[in-house]
Amino acid sequence: MRTIIEPFRIKAIEPIRMTSRDEREKLIQEAAYNVFLLPARDVLIDLLTDSGTGAMSAAQWAGIMRGDESYAGSDSYYRFENAVKDIFGFSHVIPTHQGRAAERILFSTVCSTGQTVPSNSHFDTTRANIAYVGAEPVDLPCVESRVLADPHPFKGDMNLEALQHLLEQCEPGKVPLVMLTITNNSGGGQPVSMANIRATSKICRKHKVPLYIDACRFAENAYFIKQRERGYEDVALIDIAREMFSCADGCTMSAKKDGMANIGGFLASNDEQLTREERNLLILTEGFPTYGGLAGRDLEAIAVGLYEALELDYQHYRIISTEYLGQHIAAAGVPIVQPPGGHAIYIDAASFCPQIAPLEYPGITLTVELYREAGVRAVEIGSVMFGSVDTESGQEQPAPNELVRLAIPRRVYTQSHIDYVVEAIVNVFERRDALKGYRIIEQPALLRHFSAHFAPL
């Protein structure tokens, strides 16, 4: 059969609310043209993020009922720990309430002022946690990732020459660890090849620097390796995952992604001494080591979800349905980051409406228009999110790219929802010449994209 279907049937439904164009016009104005300020009930199709927004399976809900809420040593913890050890292979596991808590504990323990932490591309919370302890996060993405339209199969790869050069040039102790984000979220949800994971690991071992994987989308990355890398066609996703992690010394994980859960995360490694120090910090801010800021029921949902993410039918549907959205809008001429990523499609807003200058925020224009057109919520990843202000001149500097991300929640929307999103984007594309930019009328000093107020130009 050529038709690809959702590999599940629907047991519980959640109504979504239709709104009229007039209502949306008023709502987006009241939200100061910032889609983060819209109440979710006024959004029809919510593609703001794939983080914690997935639908759980019947088996996960059964796990929720089975959750053991004992303070110490609950059964749920042991089921969670066994699942993580089985798939990831690390000997010490620390549960946390989400990915950034794992990052904070890791970097507060291993990292200090003046150090440098290289990565293929740091996720924004990772970057912030490194900067918070006074160290410098450095991105070393592969050269192919620079051209948005280049359909290279592993655009998430680490730039190996740059990593080698950095480790050779710096004095001993300058780099406490190297991070590898799979898939590379900031780089458009692009995968990292097994060859690149191996080569990164080899460079790290040669320089005696631990390698940590930011594992949030490890199962999607495993699927891309199976699909695109020679020699892995017949290897099960779980074995690809085990091979990826065997190259690393530890990982941080947000279970809100490929943990298929609504909350949770963990930190894992093979370093016993380090784990002891990390657990002390965990107790201080997250909780006892057998629950780490989560309820027993959350640990159950993750223990089940990690395996579900590695089911071939699920990943096939996941990756193909994301690609379906990308291919259909690209076929209508909409410029997107190629090839389509695992969890999201990124529209190149600068090419979509070239008449809008970067500092007139074409990504904001596009998110507002998608909401106006059809009640679809996407997110700007451009100069509002990543622009900076030059400290000397006070001039605002644009970000390198003006993107709009359409992130696909796991197992939530069906193909007809996606067809609806395609139509909305194409409708906006057809009237792109008439679109105008925005200016910021109010913004906080930090993380302005969440709460800035805009006005149309």
Ligand X SMILES: *Cc1c(COP(=O)(O)O)cnc(C)c1O
Query: What residues line the site for ligand X (CB under 6 A)?
Result: 51, 98-100, 123, 125-126, 181, 185, 214, 216, 254, 256-257, 265
Q: Within 10 A of 34 (CB to CB), how many other CB atoms are there?
A: 24
- For residue 251, the minimal CB distance to ligand X (Å) is 11
Chain length of the chain:
457
If the CB atoms of residues 99 and 409 are measured against ligand X, the closer one turns out to be: 99
User: Cβ(34)–Cβ(454) under 8 Å?
Assistant: yes
- For residue 318, the minimal CB distance to ligand X (Å) is 15
Token pair in block for residue 440:
């910021």
Which residue has the closest beta carbon to ligand X? 99
If the CB atoms of residues 254 and 367 are measured against ligand X, the closer one turns out to be: 254
Nearest 10 degrees: Cα torsion 373, 320, 328, 385: 50
| Gap between the Cα atoms of 163 and 200, Å rounded | 8
Phi-psi region of 188 (alpha: psi -120 to 50; beta: other; left: phi over 0): left
- For residue 334, the minimal CB distance to ligand X (Å) is 24
If the CB atoms of residues 188 and 339 are measured against ligand X, the closer one turns out to be: 188
Radius of gyration of the chain (CA): 22
Q: Within 10 A of 457 (CB to CB), how many other CB atoms are there?
A: 12
DSSP H or E stretch at residue 283:
helix 272-285
If the CB atoms of residues 404 and 424 are measured against ligand X, the closer one turns out to be: 404
If the CB atoms of residues 98 and 109 are measured against ligand X, the closer one turns out to be: 98
- For residue 214, the minimal CB distance to ligand X (Å) is 5
- For residue 330, the minimal CB distance to ligand X (Å) is 24
Q: CB neighbours of 66 closer than 8 A, spacing ≥ 6? A: 76, 297, 300
| Gap between the Cα atoms of 312 and 310, Å rounded | 6
| Gap between the Cα atoms of 440 and 33, Å rounded | 10
**First CA to last CA across the chain, in angstroms?**
51
If the CB atoms of residues 187 and 335 are measured against ligand X, the closer one turns out to be: 187
| Gap between the Cα atoms of 219 and 310, Å rounded | 6
- For residue 51, the minimal CB distance to ligand X (Å) is 5
- For residue 98, the minimal CB distance to ligand X (Å) is 3
- Strand-pairing partners, residue 396, are 389
Token pair in block for residue 422:
């395609």
- For residue 83, the minimal CB distance to ligand X (Å) is 18
DSSP H or E stretch at residue 329:
helix 312-331
If the CB atoms of residues 51 and 109 are measured against ligand X, the closer one turns out to be: 51
User: Cβ(329)–Cβ(352) under 8 Å?
Assistant: no
Q: Is the peptide bond before 95 cis (omega within 30 degrees of 0)?
A: no
If the CB atoms of residues 295 and 422 are measured against ligand X, the closer one turns out to be: 295
- For residue 20, the minimal CB distance to ligand X (Å) is 34
If the CB atoms of residues 126 and 190 are measured against ligand X, the closer one turns out to be: 126
